[in-house]
Amino acid sequence: MQAVADNNADILGCSGLITPSLDEMVTVAKEMERTGLKIPLLIGGATTSKMHTAVKVFPNYPSGFAMHVLDASRAVSVCESLLNDKKRDQFKADIKEQYEEMREDHYASLASRKFITLEKARSKMLQVDWNANVPPKPNLLGTKTYTNYPLAELLPYIDWNPFFQVWQLRGKYPNRGYPQIFKDETVGVEAKKLHDDALALIDEVVQKKMLQANGVVGIWPANAVGDDINVYDVDGSGKELGTFHTLRQQEEREDSTYFALSDFVAPKDTGIQDYVGAFAVSCGFGCEEVCAKLRAENDDYKGIMMEAVADRLAEAFAELLHSKMRTELWGYAPDENLSFDDMLKTKYAGIRPAPGYPTQPDHTEKNLMWKLLDAKAAAGIDLTDSLAMLPAASVSALVFGNPCCTYFQAGKLCKDQITDYATRKGMSIKEIEKWMGPYLGYAD
């Protein structure tokens, strides 16, 4: 999370990149209230939302004013309203009324949701015929590092859809059919210009080697024990290297199966040896230096474009290495022949859920990933105290290869599971609630 202000500031802004930032924003609001500040607090960033601001941040700064802003372009008009003596009071009153209604809707929604106990959810876990679902022994056991990977090889794997979203261009186009956005009456011309500029910059990046791509992948023996996944040494000794902890769905629904990631790994008591993989990749090496130079030259546009390009290349690297894992390194899908469209539609065998995302929303699971991969030493990819990846243009994920795997959303979680999860991880309930705040199915 970033917060920028000085003693003469009129407005303070916070930008959050990953879910732990959300709790820190609440702390900022509380501290502003405690110290008697009155200036507006603007909340924005990838993981933030109007609902979180209305429910968690706004009530903790009653003497001041907190508001969510969708993106930097919208912040201009918001700041103008907040600093205009004629507009300010009515603007604040309108937002306050809107947020009060949102809070009422939020708590009413929580009250109306139905959950089942963790015990009952476990009784409805995925049932698997493990003799028919375990993939073959991987061709790679342990880790493999890729340093200074050729950027040109990543280009066919770029998904342009998120690129246009970065620039708030909301055209109707399929992932690989991005030219359709160029025909949009509202955003077509601008989308075409942005895409052309991005292609020109990518060509410059590749030719001048302005960015470096590093990555590391790993595959280890593993077995499920309850909702946990034990990971073992590749030497066959059975020595435990660590445990991944997974979360099980609890929101009541018609579907009778309540998933956890551990369901996709053969239980230890079956006697069947299973495996789990992971990777961490980055195309952000060199990006910060290039962007700093561009901004010093007052070329903010190209600086933002460089960051967007680095993100697209990192996601492309993840797509490429996951393909290599499926077809070569793990080799559970050696005959895979998917189009790029089908890859983006996740029609490949297995899954690659990332910690912090809906299937496994707990960022702290990255700690074991980094230990197993030795990601910092191997590929230079570090974790901050809040478990954001550095460089920023980085992607990491766990990899599961069994035919029974499927993506799912863990959804809201009940107190019984949070308590159980904290015990399994050796953390306090308060710590878990901090990391899992957006996923709590109860008022913390």
Q: Where are the domains of the chain?
A: 2-112, 119-411
Range 2-112: architecture per CATH: 3-Layer(aba) Sandwich (3.40)
Which segments within 155-234 are labelled E, that is strand?
A: 212-225, 228-232
What pLDDT sits at residue 279? Answer: 98
**Judging by beta carbons within 10 Å of its beta carbon (0-12, 13-18, 19+), is residue 301 exposed, middle or buried?**
exposed
CATH 3.10.196.10 fits 119-411, yes or no: yes
Q: Identity (one letter) of the amino acid at 336?
A: E
Backbone angles phi, psi at 18, to 5 degrees: -130, 165
Cis bond before residue 391 (omega within 30° of 0): yes
What pLDDT sits at residue 87? Answer: 86
> Residue 77: CB partners within 8 Å, gap ≥ 6?
none
CA gap 94, 105 in Å, rounded = 17
What pLDDT sits at residue 20? Answer: 67
Tens digit of pLDDT for each residue in 139-154?
999 999 999 999 999 9
What pLDDT sits at residue 77? Answer: 83
Nearest alpha carbon to residue 138 among 238, 273, 253, 29: 273
CA gap 52, 106 in Å, rounded = 10
Contact in structure between 289 and 321 (CB atoms under 8 Å): no
Stretches in the chain below the pLDDT threshold 50: 1-6, 172-177
Tens digit of pLDDT for each residue in 304-330?
899 999 999 999 999 999 999 999 999
Q: What is the pTM of this model?
A: 0.84
What pLDDT sits at residue 3? Answer: 47
